[in-house]
Amino acid sequence: MTVESHLSGLNETLTGLRAQASRINRWGGELARLLTDGGRLLAAGNGGSAAEAQHLTAELVGRYRHDRAAFSALALCSETSSVTAIANDYGYDQVFARQVTAHARPGDVVVLLSTSGSSPNLLEAAHAGRLAGASVWALTGPLPNPLASLADDTLALPGDPCHVQEAQLVVVHALCEAFEAALPSAYRRAS
């Protein structure tokens, strides 16, 4: 593969992402309502998707573009003591599910990022989120995939796993754009 062919593949994935703009806007609005009402977002992924889960939660706890209130968001993949203890005691398939069971409340959002949509630990986390009464949102690669079938809503992108993973960063930033645009003015601070 050449750089040119890689970029062409990424362009195809981003074209698929452009078709998801209305979903991202809807998610941003739902997230703004949830978090301003005291709800929480839980996010998880493996590998590069774990990095994007952390990126999303950092933008919500910190800020994206503008100074504003901090919101409750946890990246389950960054809880290293929990991840390793749960993997040791219950198996790696349970590293996120056990945390979802501990932290998710009815109405919260669990965002699961997976390029394949078939990671067993994310499938278990989706089950746990549904049992907890949380909404499960999936960011995946092409359909069909098992995670999409378990999620309440899925943003599925076409393309190779590397392109899907690169586009996940764009999704994170676009979701933050939509979230901040939907925030009531009481949660924004003058810049």
pLDDT value of position 124: 98
Please give the Cα distance from 1 to 3 (Å, whole number). 7
- Per-residue pLDDT tens for 76-96? 999 999 999 999 999 999 999
pLDDT of residue 191 exceeding 70, the answer is no
- Per-residue pLDDT tens for 27-46? 999 999 999 999 999 999 99
Instruction: Specify whether the CB–CB gap between 70 and 36 falls below 8 A.
Output: no
pLDDT of residue 119 exceeding 80, the answer is yes
Please give the Cα distance from 20 to 17 (Å, whole number). 5
Domains and CATH numbers, the chain: 41-160 (3.40.50.10490)
pTM: 0.96
pLDDT average, residue stretch 46-69: 96
Please give the Cα distance from 78 to 51 (Å, whole number). 9
Residue with tokens 């919101």: 71
pLDDT of residue 18 exceeding 90, the answer is yes
Residue with tokens 């986390």: 125
CB crowding 43-54: b at 16 or more within 10 Å, else e: bbbbebbbbbbb
The more confidently predicted of residues 132 and 186 is 132
Instruction: Specify whether the CB–CB gap between 100 and 70 falls below 8 A.
Output: no
pLDDT of residue 159 exceeding 60, the answer is yes
Closest to 119 in 3D by CA, of 27, 13, 44: 44
Please give the Cα distance from 23 to 143 (Å, whole number). 16
Model confidence at 1, pLDDT cuts 50, 70, 90, reads: confident
Please give the Cα distance from 100 to 66 (Å, whole number). 29
pLDDT value of position 176: 98
Please give the Cα distance from 170 to 173 (Å, whole number). 5
Terminal CA-CA length for the chain: 45
pLDDT value of position 190: 54
Instruction: Specify whether the CB–CB gap between 53 and 111 falls below 8 A.
Output: yes
pLDDT value of position 25: 98
